[in-house]
Structure 1
Amino acid sequence: MTVPYVPVGGGPYERGLRHGWARREALRAFLADGLCRLDRILPAPVDRDGLPELLAGYESAIRAATPDLAEEIRGLAAGAGLTLDEAVLLQVRREILGYQRVPTMGDCTTYACPGPDPLLAQTVDLNGDLDDQIAVLDTGSALVLSFGGTLGYLGVNRAGLAVGLNLVLGGQWRPGLPPYLAIRHLLDRAGSVTEAVGLLRDTPLASSRSIMLCDRDQAGYAEVLGDEVRFQPAAEPVHTNHFLDPEFAEHDEVNVFARNSSQRRLDACRTRLAALPAGAGAEEHFALLAEPPITVPDSGDVRRERTVAAVVAYGGRGELHVRPGDPSRSVTDTFTLR
């Protein structure tokens, strides 16, 4: 499987137009597949009558927080032949799923190593069998991993900042800027971890997440719960899917089975990372990510998370190394900022 590469230079609307045109057939098929497979994952089909009002609330929040990304969504709709509501739905699909109706069993293992050759690596664990929806967007200033038409998910920018993420569950999810778009916002605007944390604190997010950040000088994770952002720097930070901040942990909504899985992956990743030799290359990091319990196997149930990609990102080099699908069975595609 080869990861599609989509150059999307130009102004905001033109970037969306290029993205939409390049992924037109895939995105239209995705929307036709039970409304981005939401109907196959949720206990009951999505309420089509109430959806327009909900999406309008998200679109308004996105436009208020990031006007350029709102224009890019408009361009995406035009390029792919979608309605604006459909293009917005692609950005907020995870928020529509929520966390109360769809119990999660895990969602990514992420770590970072700052220094002269800074590195961020992670698995991407999602439900919905989304490995067929993967693409890499090249905005000219950032390389961005995308799933199903999202304008952001994780990536690296020309300033040397790498950004990854983990799902954590807590607080009230509400119309706001989806974390996937917030990550794109950081890649567009921030030149360092410090600047990225400041932007996160100034941006109302729609849902809880942990955002992993890495540059030459520092690395750490910013846990987001409601309107609060707690940043924890570390020499080699590792994060999975439960809150690590003690106060946030009191509000963690992850179920006990997912909590146990998250802790196993956290412990395994810390142990294996400590054992890696200094200067280990991308393939050695992929070997770490590709072994259980860090890689989550396919159970055959579209409702369950599984590893749909693994990524090793070098911020200083402007490189994104991607293994689509199960990383123990796929080969590496490498992308470099133009």
Structure 2
Amino acid sequence: MTFVIPGHAFSGAGYELGHQHGARLGPQIRAFIADDLQRLNRILPAPVTLDALRPTLRDYHEAIARQLPRAIDELRGLAEGAQIPYEQALLLQLRREIAGYRKVPSRGDCTTFARNDPAEAVLAQTVDLNGRLETEAYVMRVSNAGDDGRELLLLTFTGLLGYLGVNSHGLAVGLNLVMAGRWRPGVPGYMAIRHLLETATSVEDCVDRLARLDLASSRSLTLCDARSAATVEIVDNVHRWRRGPELVHTNHLLDPELGPRDEINVFARNGSIARLSACAAALRALPAPAPVSAYFSILDGDPICVPPDGDDRREATVARVVLKPRSRELFIKLGAAPSAEARVFRMSA
């Protein structure tokens, strides 16, 4: 199936931005919520209700409000614009945390790489998710964001404040799920990425900003700006950084100290290792600079691209993304079909 990704332009920050987002996407947001509670009940082992989740949502609200009050303002605007309860707007940000991590066979959950040398800076990844979210994806172009009026290009999904992207300072951020440590109320990973893109100007700037956040769950982030690239693995707010001209990450922990805490099951680990090896080899073989199509070719290949198998509970590639920090561009192919056409989004100025 061929998917076409829409783009939406917004301006501002906090409540105003959230209200624009909610009002523009209101029917889509309400339909997604009505679809088995944001499709959570298609992937969870037992159904949940909003009422049953309220105590957990209250704990998350308090943790986020202490650290990112502007995000709470934006969520309130999103809720009012979309005409949904605030708790539903908050739950849209927490699908991954509510789902938790299941120790069952997994076929894939994002492959990410970065390259940064004098010839080129690029960050690229597959977006592997369960729940058939291709139809919920869109790109947000946000102008006059943050305290300095920066611009953001964000890939996101229905009602989510942001998933990955690049800002007008030339900072790009991608992510991988890693499964370790204790997951608890805190700042969800997607919201942390949005915060970095809205406040940071470089990879090094992100080091301090991330250290101030109490994250809800384990993650690996890959960051790339015009001059450097890095990955950071985060488990129980322990951060392990790696830097280099070429970096690849999948879903098993690479840091030798964090590795023994990895909860990934053996089947998923074997798949993660295979994707890491295939991606690293393909990247080494590709001279820089390379056309965007060559980077998509890496993401399109087996075993990196994971086609759907009809089971909503299992991860599949819903998008492939190439971010160019120096030119502030976001290229995206929606779905898993290699023949999908890439669409490019650029900053307005």
TM-score (norm. length: structure 1): 0.97
Alignment of 1:135 with 2:144, yes or no, is no
What is the match of residue 81 of structure 1?
83
Is the Cα–Cα contact under 8 Å of residues 19 and 79 in structure 1 kept in the other structure?
yes
Q: Which amino acid aligns with 1:158?
A: S
How many residue pairs get aligned? The number is 338
Q: 1:90 aligns with which of 47, 71, 92?
A: 92
Alignment of 1:247 with 2:257, yes or no, is yes
User: CA–CA distance in 1 between the matches of 2:39 and 2:54?
Assistant: 18
What whole-Å deviation, never above 9, does each CA across 1:269-316 have from its counterpart, x for those lacking one?
Answer: 000001112211111111110011000011110000000000000111
1:22-41 correspondence to structure 2 within 5 Å = 22-41=24-43
What is the match of residue 126 of structure 1?
129
Report the CA distance between 1:29 and its aligned residue. Answer: 0.9
What is the match of residue 199 of structure 2?
189
TM-score (norm. length: structure 2): 0.94
Q: Which amino acid aligns with 1:190?
A: A
What whole-Å deviation, never above 9, does each CA across 1:200-239 have from its counterpart, x for those lacking one?
Answer: 1111100000000011221110100002111111210000
Report the CA distance between 1:327 and its aligned residue. Answer: 4.5
Percent sequence identity is 49
1:181-330 correspondence to structure 2 within 5 Å = 181-330=191-340
1:108-119 correspondence to structure 2 within 5 Å = 108-116=110-118, 117-119=120-122
User: CA–CA distance in 2 between the matches of 1:69 and 1:49?
Assistant: 23
Q: Which amino acid aligns with 2:228?
A: Q
Q: Which amino acid aligns with 1:63?
A: A
Is the Cα–Cα contact under 8 Å of residues 297 and 307 in structure 1 kept in the other structure?
yes
1:139-158 correspondence to structure 2 within 5 Å = 139-140=142-143, 141-158=151-168
User: CA–CA distance in 1 between the matches of 2:30 and 2:339?
Assistant: 28
What whole-Å deviation, never above 9, does each CA across 1:133-172 have from its counterpart, x for those lacking one?
Answer: 1011111211111012111111001111110000000001
Report the CA distance between 1:82 and its aligned residue. Answer: 1.0
User: CA–CA distance in 1 between the matches of 2:280 and 2:209?
Assistant: 28
What whole-Å deviation, never above 9, does each CA across 1:257-279 have from its counterpart, x for those lacking one?
Answer: 00000000000000000111221
Is the Cα–Cα contact under 8 Å of residues 178 and 218 in structure 2 kept in the other structure?
yes
Is the Cα–Cα contact under 8 Å of residues 104 and 265 in structure 2 kept in the other structure?
no
User: CA–CA distance in 2 between the matches of 1:104 and 1:171?
Assistant: 19
Q: Residues 129, 66 of structure 1: CA spacing in aligned structure 2 closer, same or farther, 3 A cutoff?
A: same
Q: Residues 33, 103 of structure 1: CA spacing in aligned structure 2 closer, same or farther, 3 A cutoff?
A: farther
Report the CA distance between 1:39 and its aligned residue. Answer: 0.7
Q: Which amino acid aligns with 1:2?
A: V
Report the CA distance between 1:16 and its aligned residue. Answer: 0.7
RMSD: 1.3
Q: Residues 128, 160 of structure 1: CA spacing in aligned structure 2 closer, same or farther, 3 A cutoff?
A: same
Q: Which amino acid aligns with 2:85?
A: T
SS of corresponding position for 1:310: strand
Is the Cα–Cα contact under 8 Å of residues 103 and 265 in structure 2 kept in the other structure?
no
Is the Cα–Cα contact under 8 Å of residues 104 and 254 in structure 1 kept in the other structure?
no
What is the match of residue 9 of structure 1?
11
Runs of 4 or more off by more than 3 Å in structure 1?
100-105
User: CA–CA distance in 1 between the matches of 2:179 and 2:247?
Assistant: 19
User: CA–CA distance in 1 between the matches of 2:110 and 2:321?
Assistant: 11
User: CA–CA distance in 2 between the matches of 1:198 and 1:332?
Assistant: 35
- Unaligned runs of at least 5 residues, structure 1: none
What whole-Å deviation, never above 9, does each CA across 1:303-335 have from its counterpart, x for those lacking one?
Answer: 000000000001111110011111513111110
What is the match of residue 20 of structure 1?
22
Q: Which amino acid aligns with 1:268?
A: A
User: CA–CA distance in 1 between the matches of 2:296 and 2:210?
Assistant: 29
Is the Cα–Cα contact under 8 Å of residues 8 and 16 in structure 1 kept in the other structure?
no
SS of corresponding position for 2:264: coil
User: CA–CA distance in 2 between the matches of 1:48 and 1:109?
Assistant: 32
Q: Which amino acid aligns with 1:269?
A: C
Q: Residues 103, 68 of structure 1: CA spacing in aligned structure 2 closer, same or farther, 3 A cutoff?
A: farther
Q: Residues 325, 14 of structure 1: CA spacing in aligned structure 2 closer, same or farther, 3 A cutoff?
A: same
